Amino acid sequence: MRNPGTIDLALDEMLVNLAAIVLRLSKPELTRTPEARRALAQSVHQYAVCAKRSNDPRVHELKSQLEEALKPSLRIVAIDGVEIS
């Protein structure tokens, strides 16, 4: 693996696999506690740092998906039967 292109490809594959793991762990039922949310945020941040130098579009798409997973889910609230955003 002395060829930089080969190393880059291997790193991209590792990033794709890592993103798949983090996406599975980002499910709401697994990130209920503040500690779990912080751990997820840290994992997504670290992934983004590594993905920054990648030229693989899959890595950047997965980075976007991970960042979306961090955003809180919005819910509809109703007061006296009237929906309020």
For residue 64, the enclosing domain spans: 4-84
pLDDT of residue 24: 94
Residues pairing with 84 in the sheet: 77
Q: Which CA distances in Å does 6 have to 15, 19, 52, 54?
A: 14, 20, 18, 13
pLDDT of residue 85: 57
pLDDT of residue 83: 63
| Tokens, residue 29 | 């039922």
Domain count, the chain: 1
Q: Per residue of the chain (85 residues), what is the pLDDT tens digit?
A: 577 778 999 999 999 999 999 999 999 888 889 999 999 999 999 999 999 999 999 999 999 999 999 887 766 677 776 766 5
Burial of residue 66, with CB atoms counted within 10 A of its CB: 0-12 exposed, 13-18 middle, 19 or more buried: buried
Phi, psi of 79, deg, nearest 5: -120, 120
